[in-house]
Structure 1
């Protein structure tokens, strides 16, 4: 476990955490959280911790109970899970009695996790997903009034707020170390949302070109919105430029202010976390 990114004012400077919101993103290999000061409408702190995926639960438990920021009581707590077992079900076909069956068919029945459901406004979809039971119990006990969602649900909620009513293909790409969240939209409609793991820059373009081929997407015309932990001078970004002509790096939402320390990082680095605050 190691802290990869950290932006914060001293905890002592926050007189009343009850005037702040806490946003937490949890995956098998990382935990990311940010603090929003509601009075100033300003993000004042952020921490990104890499987890050992073979010991992730114990690392999360240590962070939850010993991190001085996570130990405080906040006005609102939002937890976003980023685990791969997710099935999007059209509203007319949704049946809570079939949630486990749908996940077992897609991903097998070896994982005995907690099954959760998000209703996704604007899409007539339900996101049925499974998270580690012990982790959900830990977070639920520590944040008893917390709101829990899946990362795909947040991406779709935010897309519903910003989607352009134009014809054509668009894709949202959110980069993390060695994995990529990919969502493809055509004429405003969702085609696919999926996570790809990668080790090399060529892996990324392979997955994207394969998706474009399957959905008959013209790489020269599709618009890519890119955010997350991707250096625009990296080999991955250079590979993207070889095949895609319309790439736009996402920026922090203008609806918020940001502690000056955030300026040390590119504007697209943590926009997925900030977008979470706009989706409630």
Structure 2
């Protein structure tokens, strides 16, 4: 028997008039994670984001339960009924690894992933080519979730959240920092570290965390492993983190050069989005670069 959930967006930035607006030239960019369903409506001609919704729910033990929650989001969110020009489905979660493009063979993409991670039940292995950084992001998604979303949205456009992050960070000139820069995308119970030095990608790694000290420990360890100077490297934080959060307080204690990831530059945002800190949904906005 299915369970009925009380579905309301944790964040919403839209306008009721959108339901009466022709959005058929717009794109729907969807980001699905464990316990989250997020999307933005994007007008590529105007390079403008028109709506944002973020739904949060308790992560379910079985994928079918996650699907039931997302089905109820569909039932309550009328904006999702729009016939968009394109729909991009992006996945946050599962295992992922970066492979140099020159060494990538699509026929053995599973092998790249399984050199690091054990094969999972109901696993589908996919790959995103990031040509401007000569990398391929190989990642896994759950087959049932993938099949459900693909059918619901009738799309063949897919991506991984880290692919969007890698593309988005290149819009921030600090990725050229001579002393190095580390971008931290902090989400619930996990975070992604992306390290550049003078424009060269050194590392991207996703890790689980329970406390701010977990994040600090892995951050400092990464700085030392990559040979960067702890006193000189810049660290920029993105994700739904507040200045008074325990994670941010711990980072302030140990990181001399700490800043927020800027809102993706070169794009326009409705006023309600401007009221939400830009770094909150940097991963979602960056999907506009993946379509």
- TM-score between the two structures when normalised by the length of structure 2: 0.87
CA distance 1:165–1:237, shift in 2 (3 Å): closer
Equivalent in 17, 21, 35 of residue 15 of structure 1: 21
- Which sections of structure 1, spanning at least 5 residues, go unmatched? none
SS in 2 for 1:173: strand
1:95 aligns with 2:105: yes
CA distance 1:235–1:52, shift in 2 (3 Å): closer
1:178 aligns with 2:166: no
**Matches of 2:159 and 2:85 in 1, distance apart?**
18
- TM-aligned CA deviation for residue 12 of structure 1: 5.6
Counterpart position of 1:193: 204
- TM-aligned CA deviation for residue 110 of structure 1: 3.0
**Matches of 2:282 and 2:227 in 1, distance apart?**
29
**Matches of 2:271 and 2:101 in 1, distance apart?**
43
Counterpart position of 2:35: 29
- Superposed counterparts of 1:32-71, under 5 Å: 32-38=38-44, 41-54=47-60, 55-64=65-74, 66-71=76-81
The Cα RMSD (Å) is: 2.2
- Which sections of structure 2, spanning at least 5 residues, go unmatched? none
Q: Would you say how many aligned residue pairs link Structure 1 and Structure 2?
A: 280
Equivalent in 221, 242, 247 of residue 232 of structure 2: 221
Deviation digits for residues 108-149 of structure 1 (CA, Å, limit 9, x no counterpart): 123332111111112221111110111111121222234211
Counterpart position of 2:93: 83
**Matches of 2:47 and 2:110 in 1, distance apart?**
40
Counterpart position of 2:134: 124
Greater relative CO, 1 or 2 (CA 8 Å, sep 6+): 2
1:271 aligns with 2:277: no
Deviation digits for residues 58-99 of structure 1 (CA, Å, limit 9, x no counterpart): 222332455312222112212221123112111232122322
**Matches of 1:134 and 1:166 in 2, distance apart?**
42
CA distance 1:137–1:66, shift in 2 (3 Å): farther
